[in-house]
């Protein structure tokens, strides 16, 4: 059991070096179910001393883990995937309790995550394979792949099993050890994840968990990043927080991998399958109450089919999305999503489907809504709502559609709907996005392909060998005969 009892309270402790850190009641954090406005349990908050201890433990474990054979790491990840399947109900229940998501969404996350772990495990050999480049002098050159060292992983609360599990597994596969700075929103969900890896045979200290309150976040994050033994940071979250963490990393000359927000466009062209496009645009906008960085935030439709598409889209929303599409994990997040829609409407935008009303007394669940007529000065135009909504735009043709899609600070996921495959491929080259999907939803993340952000959506790759490589460095070794003459400078 992950909890420790203290004065009748159930506490998620810090987990460092394979053991619970002593409790400090003055830093207990309330973990709140936003939908019920209820404290469901508590978590021990970390301070800078705890952060130091977590990195020390990871650094000590790295001395051994880095030299484990690739097949041993693979077996550990495969066992973790199997245990995750066994614990899927527990993981789902924890995520529902802590983040107020729907049971269906929570239940699917461990299924998706275990597949991600298996794909990473299957790509270890590929990622670790070095090269034997030709030399321009006598001798031989070998380029080997080595783990970069202990890493700091900071995953978000919206899909913890997948996004946390993927980062942890990629780092471990490379031979790195991990300090997991778990979200204070769902520390139990992350603790179950840590337990899964340790039950799979991961040695103590290879994976350590800390969490802290928002008031202590800056100091604890600084202590983690500044530690001499942290060699890389992975952060998934908002662009605003990512920018602050990247600045801290830069100050300490630490490389950082970032997956930030998105303003995912779905372009609907004249030859699109309109009913299918409408169905998956709505799905992409509303899934998980819109709390996905790949959510369909913008729908861009060409003028020639705009009236017909809008009618079909409204029918789709009215038929399937009049009730709840989940709930926000944070009351503040729901308020922000609601306010952005209200502000745009007050500034002249129109409701196409839905009415942005609250569906619960606690104001955590919003009616799925699509608006049109958004102006350039509306905040919603290029800020994530992270709520169940999308903005629809009508354009004259393909060139204007691409221009509008690219007119964003973000560049994560996009999709285009057309029956012409070659046109889709041609257009994909014009998108300023890391992923371009054709005839499907923007919420698309196959475990076998790289997921990459450009512009304000970050940089670096994840999934499979691509993600493992983020935690590897090249080491060049050259071999020469003892009597070989030195050619340098001649």
Tell me which residues are annotated as active site. 259, 293
Long-range (24+ apart) CB contacts under 8 A made by 136-140 are 137/484, 137/487, 138/480, 138/481, 138/484, 139/478, 139/479, 139/480, 139/481, 139/484, 140/478, 140/479
Q: Which helix (H) or strand (E) holds 33?
A: strand 28-33
> How many other C-beta atoms are found inside a 10 Å radius of the C-beta of residue 290?
27
The H-assigned helical ranges of 287-351 are 303-320, 331-346
In this structure, what token pair is assigned to residue 309?
A: 């598409």
DSSP 46: P
DSSP strand pairing (232-236 vs 207-210) = unpaired
Q: Two tokens at 459?
A: 């940089």
Nearest to 208 by CA among 221, 195, 222: 195
Q: How many whole angstroms separate alpha carbon 26 and alpha carbon 15?
A: 18
Integer-rounded Cα Rg, in Å, for the chain is 24
């Amino acid at each position: 059991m992950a909890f420790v009892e203290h004065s009748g309270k159930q506490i998620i402790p810090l987990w460092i070096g394979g053991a619970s850190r002593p409790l400090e009641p003055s830093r207990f954090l309330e973990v709140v179910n936003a939908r019920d406005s209820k404290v469901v349990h508590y978590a021990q908050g970390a301070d800078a001393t705890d952060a130091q201890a977590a990195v020390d433990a990871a650094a000590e474990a790295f001395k051994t883990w880095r030299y484990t054979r690739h097949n041993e790491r693979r077996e550990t990840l495969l066992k973790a995937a199997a245990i995750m399947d066994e614990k899927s109900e527990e993981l789902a229940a924890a995520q529902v309790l802590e983040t107020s998501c729907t049971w269906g969404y929570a239940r699917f996350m461990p299924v998706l995550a275990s597949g991600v772990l298996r794909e990473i495990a299957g790509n270890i050999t590929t990622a670790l394979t070095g090269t034997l480049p030709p030399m321009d002098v006598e001798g031989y050159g070998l380029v080997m792949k080595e783990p970069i060292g202990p890493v700091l992983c900071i995953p978000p609360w919206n899909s913890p099993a997948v996004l946390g599990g993927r980062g942890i597994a990629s780092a471990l596969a490379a031979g790195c050890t991990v300090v997991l700075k778990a979200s204070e929103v769902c520390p139990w969900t992350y603790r179950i994840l840590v337990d899964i890896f340790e039950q799979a045979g991961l040695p103590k200290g290879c994976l350590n968990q800390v969490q802290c309150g928002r008031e202590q976040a800056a100091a604890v994050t600084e202590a983690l990043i500044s530690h001499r033994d942290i060699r890389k940071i992975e952060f998934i979250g908002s662009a605003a927080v990512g920018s602050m963490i990247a600045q801290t990393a830069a100050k300490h000359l630490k490389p950082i991998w970032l997956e930030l927000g998105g303003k995912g466009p779905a372009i609907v062209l004249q030859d699109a399958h309109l009913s299918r496009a409408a169905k998956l645009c709505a799905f992409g906008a509303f899934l998980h109450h819109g709390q996905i960085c790949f959510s369909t935030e913008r729908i861009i439709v060409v003028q020639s089919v705009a009236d017909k598409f809008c009618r079909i889209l409204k029918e789709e929303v009215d038929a399937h999305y009049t009730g709840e599409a989940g709930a926000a994990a944070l009351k503040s997040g729901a308020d922000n999503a609601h306010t952005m829609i209200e502000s745009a409407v007050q500034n002249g935008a129109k409701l196409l489907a839905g009415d942005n009303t609250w569906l619960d007394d606690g104001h955590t669940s919003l009616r799925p809504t699509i608006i049109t007529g958004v102006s350039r000065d509306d905040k919603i135009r290029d800020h994530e709502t992270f709520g169940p909504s999308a903005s629809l735009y009508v354009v004259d043709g393909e060139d204007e559609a691409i221009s509008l899609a690219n007119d964003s600070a973000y560049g994560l996921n996009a999709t285009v709907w057309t029956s012409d495959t070659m046109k889709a491929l041609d257009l994909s080259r014009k998108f300023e996005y890391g992923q371009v999907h054709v005839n499907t939803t923007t919420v698309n993340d196959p475990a076998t392909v790289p997921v990459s952000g450009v512009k304000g959506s970050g940089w670096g790759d994840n999934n499979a060998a691509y993600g493992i490589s983020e935690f590897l460095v090249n080491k060049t070794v050259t071999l020469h005969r003892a009597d070989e003459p030195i050619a340098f400078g001649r």
